[in-house]
Each structure stands twice: as structure tokens, then as C-alpha cells.
Amino acid sequence: MMIYGVLAFCLFGVLPANASQSAALIETRIANIEDTLKQLTGVVERIQHNFDKQLEESRKLHQDIALRLDETKASLEELKESLKKTAQTSVKKAAASTDKTADNKATLKAGQPNKPSEDSIKEVKALMAQGSYKTAQARAKQYISKFGESSSESQTLYYWLGEACYGEKSYSEASLAYVKGYKINPNSSKAPELLYKLSKTLIAMGKKKDAKVTLEKLLADYKDLSPRLRKLAEQEKSKTSRQ
């Protein structure tokens, strides 16, 4: 009993007169401490459980991401091979088309009209469809230089030259091509399309005021403009007015 009294003195700074009361008080305190420890242990275990659960979920997520990255990498490799094969096929077709054009040189030199044939325009359009913008530009310039710049065919070639430059985001060259094509014959059926494309290029260059002026000229000068082109022009004009 004396021991309990001493322990009580150590814990509480007093020495109870009744040793049994002191022992009971200590036991109560110890029981409370044990209960608190059990509660804390439960909290720690729950925290540990949640941590382990989140860690497992994180691990699974990491594995899933790694798997998806591997699948994406495989898909990109397949796409790369596909594009490579497509490019090789395009080169072969372009070479064949070039050979066909070369066969027509003798006929052109023999006194035929000094204008690009429909085949030359088709060739440039085909190169555009394949995404071979630089090759299309080179071929269009070659035909324009070879056959002159005053024919309706050259006007069409300037249109496709502009499209090829636009596809390469060479907007300054594209706008120049559209302007040259338009000036060949402002009264042709191709002229309105050239003006519209010019306005689109000017917008891409950040020259919205110039684009608006071009669109206003298009709408004013061509009263018989096709419904499709008129709608597109009005939509673009509205955009430039708001900006």
C-alpha cells in the first residue's frame, strides 16, 4: 500500500491519506490512459489502412498509365510505318506523273498553244491532296513560268499555288499568289474564289482590316456570287467586324 502512496505522490504531487483510495485512483488513471492508447491505436491503424489502400490504388494507376503509354507508343509506330508507305507510294505516283508531263514537251514545242494542259493542273491538285505542299508549289511555279501568266489555266494554277503555300503557312507567298491569280482576269469565274482565299490569308496574317476590305469588294463586285461563297464571305466579314 505504501508503494501505491509513493506512486500517487509521483503522479499527482500529493500523498493520499488513504492508501486504498490512492491505489484506486491510480488504477482509474491507468485504465483511462489504456483506453486512450487503444483509441489512438485504432486511429493509427485506420490511417495506416487508408494509406495502404491509397498506395495500392496509386500503384495500380501507375501500372495502368504505363500500359496505356506502351499501347500509344505501339500505335504511333504503326502510324509511322503507314505514313512511310503512303509517302513512298506518293513519290512513285509523282514520278510517274512527271514522266507523263515530259512526254508532252515535244508536242508543246511543236507549236501547240502556250498554256498548261488540264493534266498539269490535275497533277498539282493531286500533290495537294497528298499533302505534298512543297512539291505542289514547285510544280505550279514551273507550269506558270513555262506556259505564261496570262491564261485562265495559269489563273487556276495561281489558285493552287496559293493553296499550297497556305498549307505550309507561308501566308505572304499565298497572298501574293492569290493576288496575281485574281489580276489575270477579275471577270473570270475563279476570281471570286481567289479574293475569298486572299481574305482568309490576310486574317491568318493578322491583317483583319485588309481582309474586311477584300471581303467587301468581293460582295460588292460579284452580285451573282454563288450562295455558298456569299455565305462564307459574309461570315468572315462579320468576324472581322467584331474583332
For residues 178 and 186, is the Cβ–Cβ distance under 8 A? Answer: no
d(CA 9, CA 2): 11
For residues 205 and 175, is the Cβ–Cβ distance under 8 A? Answer: yes
pLDDT digits (tens, 9 = 90+) for 118-130: 888 899 989 999 9
Which residue, among 98, 108, 175, has the nearest Cα to 136 in the 3D structure? Answer: 98
Three-class SS of the chain: CHHHHHHHHHHHCCCCCCHHHHHHHHHHHHHHHHHHHHHHHHHHHHHHHHHHHHHHHHHHHHHHHHHHHHHHHHHHHHHHHHHHHHHHHHHHHHHHHHHHHHHCHHHHHCCCCCCCCHHHHHHHHHHHHCCCHHHHHHHHHHHHHHHCCCCHHHHHHHHHHHHHHHHCCCHHHHHHHHHHHHHHCCCCCCHHHHHHHHHHHHHHCCCHHHHHHHHHHHHHHCCCCCHHHHHHHHHHHHHHHHC
Ranking 83-92, 142-151, 211-220 by mean pLDDT, the lowest is 83-92
Cell of 166: 497556305
Which residue, among 82, 179, 167, has the nearest Cα to 129 in the 3D structure? Answer: 167
d(CA 164, CA 143): 14
* Range 142-149 average pLDDT: 84
- Which CA distances in Å does 240 have to 153, 180, 191? 32, 24, 21
User: Is the pTM above the cut of 0.75?
Assistant: no
Has residue 8 got a pLDDT over 50?
no
pLDDT digits (tens, 9 = 90+) for 187-208: 999 999 999 999 999 999 999 9
For residues 2 and 19, is the Cβ–Cβ distance under 8 A? Answer: yes
- How high is the pLDDT of residue 157? 92
Which residues, in sequence order, are CB contacts of 84 under 8 Å at separation 6+?
none
Has residue 57 got a pLDDT over 70?
yes
Cell of 74: 505501339
pLDDT digits (tens, 9 = 90+) for 151-173: 778 899 999 999 999 999 999 99
| Structural fold of domain 115-242 | 1.25.40
The pLDDT mean for the chain works out to: 80
- How high is the pLDDT of residue 172? 94
